[in-house]
């Protein structure tokens, strides 16, 4: 599998095309914004989106775990799309999810979509943030510590290929902050050109756009 190495907070991480951030030295996988059952959430508005997105997301995750010696996973928040997600989740998906959290030490840094009262009972470590080696992992950006790894925004970027533009999700980082793309199947995105993201990263930053099987790197200065 293609990936790109990135040095953040003096640590060596790897960025994978599906949006995984892997910290090899700690055997820790970081993924963000899985939004389980986002598709079925819309059944409330009578839009019957195919209920297979959670399965897709979990299969992708399982494949990564099978290929790498992952010992712990940090879910950077918004694991579920809404508090009824587990009730709607197809049996197959549930099975897969509980298999993973049983096998691997999983922590969820709670996001705005996560309902703590329910998630506490299913065997996840819940916390607002985790600090490892001066890096703070949390759903929202924080300045508590020197380095912050976070999600929430679902960043995407427009690439020009052969004079045609395509949107891809991406990582974006500078010396102190690293913003993760969303890992869920149906999750949309916010352009990195938007003010909310720009004000966090200006003036000098790097973008890692993700395509189906490659990671790219673009430097942005000014």
The residues that touch another protein, with contacts defined as CB under 8 A, are 40, 42-53, 55-56, 90, 158, 162-165, 185-186, 188
Q: CB 136 → another protein: shortest distance, Å?
A: 32
Distance CA 155, CA 206 (A): 13
Interacting residues of 83 by C-beta distance below 8 A, sequence separation 6+ = 115, 118
The residue (of 6 and 61) whose beta carbon lies closer to another protein is 61
The residue (of 42 and 216) whose beta carbon lies closer to another protein is 42
Longest CA pairwise span in the chain (Å): 51
Assess contact for 135 and 28: CB atoms under 8 A: no
Assess contact for 169 and 188: CB atoms under 8 A: no
The residue (of 45 and 117) whose beta carbon lies closer to another protein is 45
Distance CA 87, CA 78 (A): 16
C-alpha angle 215/131/25, rounded to 5°?
A: 50
Q: CB 91 → another protein: shortest distance, Å?
A: 9
The residue (of 91 and 203) whose beta carbon lies closer to another protein is 91
C-alpha angle 205/3/197, rounded to 5°?
A: 25
Q: CB 213 → another protein: shortest distance, Å?
A: 15
The residue (of 112 and 162) whose beta carbon lies closer to another protein is 162
Q: CB 208 → another protein: shortest distance, Å?
A: 21
Q: CB 56 → another protein: shortest distance, Å?
A: 6
């Amino acid at each position: 599998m293609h990936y790109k190495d990135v040095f953040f907070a003096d640590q060596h991480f790897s960025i994978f095309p599906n949006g995984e951030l892997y910290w090899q030295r700690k055997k820790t996988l970081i993924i963000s914004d899985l939004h389980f059952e986002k598709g079925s959430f819309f059944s409330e508005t009578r839009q019957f989106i195919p209920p297979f997105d959670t399965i897709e997301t979990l299969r992708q995750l399982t494949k990564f775990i099978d290929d790498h010696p992952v010992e712990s996973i940090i879910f950077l928040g918004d694991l579920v799309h809404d508090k009824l997600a587990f009730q709607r989740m197809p049996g197959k998906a549930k099975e897969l999810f509980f298999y993973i959290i049983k096998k691997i030490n999983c922590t969820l840094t709670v996001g705005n979509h996560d309902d703590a009262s329910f998630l506490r009972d299913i065997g996840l470590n819940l916390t607002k943030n985790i600090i490892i080696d001066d890096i703070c992992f949390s759903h929202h950006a924080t300045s508590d510590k020197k380095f912050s790894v976070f999600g929430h925004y679902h960043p995407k970027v427009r690439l020009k290929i052969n004079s045609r533009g395509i949107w891809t999700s991406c990582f974006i980082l500078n010396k102190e902050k690293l913003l993760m793309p969303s890992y869920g199947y149906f999750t949309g995105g916010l352009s990195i050109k938007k003010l909310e993201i720009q004000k966090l990263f200006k003036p000098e930053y790097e973008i890692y756009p993700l395509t189906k099987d490659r990671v790219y790197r673009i430097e942005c200065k000014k």
